[in-house]
Amino acid sequence: MTWNDLINRGRIGKHTTSGSEISELRGVVARDLADAGIDGLSADRRFATAYNAALQSSKMVIACTGYRVKGLGAHNTTFACLKLAMGEPINQIARFLDQARRKRNIADYDAAGRITDTEVEDMVRIAELLAVQVEEWIQRNLPDLSEKPRD
């Protein structure tokens, strides 16, 4: 699948990002990674929150590439776009995230208590790894949008 295939199928559209958009998404990623570590939350909620951190990291890459996901199946499209944008090194993570998408859907919409602590730990680890890889990708490809050091 290519960017043009996704455009022609109405799954993505052209988009111009900004430093403020990327900064806001970074804030969501940081919040969700922190919240996924809250001990009092259920495994289902911690998993879904870490999943969302990974989803927002992916959204950062897609925005930096000049696109925005739209329409039905947005999460599935997001992970397909992540592979297109970042290439081979990210394929294993993208496959993991697509499987996590299915688990999150069950936990959010169908049945509680199906997510294990081990699955939460894996999801958090992958979300943290992806956040780092996304920042490195942005630094290489769009240094003007790189995270600025804090004072």
The answer to whether the pTM exceeds 0.75 is: yes
How distant, in Å, are the alpha carbons of 10, 38, 44, 101, 150 from that of 68? 11, 31, 28, 19, 28
Classify domain 15-142 at the CATH class level: mainly alpha
Q: What is the pLDDT of residue 151?
A: 46
Q: Would the pLDDT of 149 be above 90? A: no
Computed over every residue of the chain, the mean pLDDT equals 94
Q: Alpha helix locations (H) across the chain?
A: 3-8, 19-35, 43-65, 74-86, 91-105, 117-141
Asked if 50 and 124 count as a contact pair (C-beta separation under 8 A), the reply is yes
Domain ranges of the chain: 15-142
Q: What is the pLDDT of residue 69?
A: 98
Task: Quick: pLDDT tens for 71-94.
Answer: 999 999 999 999 999 998 899 999
Please state, for a pLDDT cut of 70, what percent of the chain lies above it.
97
Give me 106's structure tokens.
């069950």
Q: What is the pLDDT of residue 146?
A: 85
Average pLDDT over residues 62-70: 97
Q: What is the pLDDT of residue 37?
A: 95
Q: What is the pLDDT of residue 150?
A: 52
Exposed/middle/buried for residue 15 (C-beta within 10 Å: 0-12, 13-18, 19+): middle
3-class DSSP assignment, residue 80: helix
Average pLDDT over residues 48-58: 98
Give me 140's structure tokens.
């290489």
Q: What is the pLDDT of residue 147?
A: 76
d(CA 33, CA 37): 7
Q: Which amino acid is at 138?
A: I
